[in-house]
Amino acid sequence: MTRPTSRDVATAAGVSQATVSLVLGDKWRGRVSERTAHLVRTTAADLGYRPNLAARNLRLGSTRTALLVVPALTNEFFARVHTGAARIAAAHGFGVVLYPSPDGTGPARDPFASASAALDGVIASSMAAGALDAIGGDELPLVMLDSAPGSGRAAAHVNLAMADGMHQVTEHLLTLGHRRFLHFAAAVDSWTFHIRAQALARHLGPHAELRTVRAPLDVTEARTAMEAALTAPGDRPTAIVCDDDILAVGACKAARRLGLRVPDDLSVTGIDDLALATAVEPELTTVHLPAERVGEQGMAALLAVLDGTPWTAPDIPVNLVVRASTAPPPTTTRP
């Protein structure tokens, strides 16, 4: 029989996991009513719940270590997230351990004999959510980055204003005069990419034509997919909106191979504002995502959860950086 968790207690009592932690950690006075505290204790007793001793020690600060779960160690964006998280952690006497998704590249799958014995909590990107199953530690506080608010067992969420970022892209391109769009979408089943697709379609609405092509987050595969898209029958798009700078670089390489000029024949935009956005020629118009701020807020949210304090914060603002890869569409489109 599976041992009941604090999440089970919270569900049965109709309260949050933070409330369960406060009551069973004897920190509820002045924060939770006596009636609610009694309900939580009674529910825990009825379920046969026993607090994990290691997890309780964590909240007392015996390990002061957080785990940051990312899709891969090779992506600059997630390196910056770690930098931000580590900065806030260090200011509070914590350390941050990086753990790449088992589907990505990096160290072994199981860095801890027992996650709940080695960690205070987990901060995880939605793109690496599958790694949480490999790690275990269901009772550890969890903060999700770039994930649907209120989803899963997360005690807090930290999100970027991705829909607004896509709105900024579409407004820029529509103002330039573009009406035939191609969405170069990441072939990744993740909330953050679903939001981008929904926002793009919503903001373009009836004002423009839109079709979608998907590719893995790899320059070579993106180039191959875009070459096929640009040589397909029908009118060629004048603007390619990419989910990521890596896809955008692949799109630019495909255009060059086909003899198309960016931005004279084709405008291309990205998202992330990675270093490669200014390493390519022409430099890439892209949405700047403040990755370090994501890491800072992720760690701040985890510290708040560990302290039993509810975490609320607006989405982190993003901004469009206009460079040389976008221009008005050509007056005529070559076949």
* Tens-digit pLDDT profile for residues 249-263: 999 999 999 999 999
- Compute the distance between CA of residue 262 and CA of residue 281 in angstroms, rounded to an integer: 9
The answer to whether the peptide bond before residue 263 is cis (omega within 30 degrees of 0) is: yes
Instruction: Indicate the residue type of 27.
Output: K
Of 6, 15, 11, 47, give the one whose Cα is nearest residue 33: 15
Identify whether the C-beta of residue 301 lies closer than 8 Å to the C-beta of residue 274: no
Domains 1-51 and 162-290 share a fold: no
Q: In the chain, what are the domain boundaries?
A: 1-51, 162-290
Q: How far is CA 240 from the centre of its chain?
A: 22
Cis bond leading into 149, ω under 30°? no
Residue 102 has a pLDDT of 59
Q: What is the structure's pLDDT at 196?
A: 97
Q: What is the average per-residue pLDDT within 69-73?
A: 85
More confident site: 279 or 131: 279
Mean pLDDT in residue range 213-231 = 97
Q: Please report the pLDDT score of residue 111 as a whole number.
A: 53
Domain 1-51: give its CATH architecture.
Orthogonal Bundle (1.10)
Q: Are 188 and 154 in contact (CB under 8 A)?
A: no
Going by C-alpha positions, the residue among 136, 137, 129 that lies closest to residue 104 is 129
What confidence tens digit (pLDDT) does each residue in 162-180 have? 999 999 999 999 999 999 9
CA-wise closest residue to 253 among 287, 218, 295 = 218
Would you call 127 helix, strand, or coil by DSSP? Answer: helix
**Residue 92 one-letter amino acid:** H
pTM assigned to the model = 0.79
Please state the rounded mean pLDDT for residues 72-86.
91
* CATH fold group of domain 162-290: Rossmann fold (3.40.50)
Question: Does the pLDDT of residue 189 top 80, yes or no?
Answer: yes
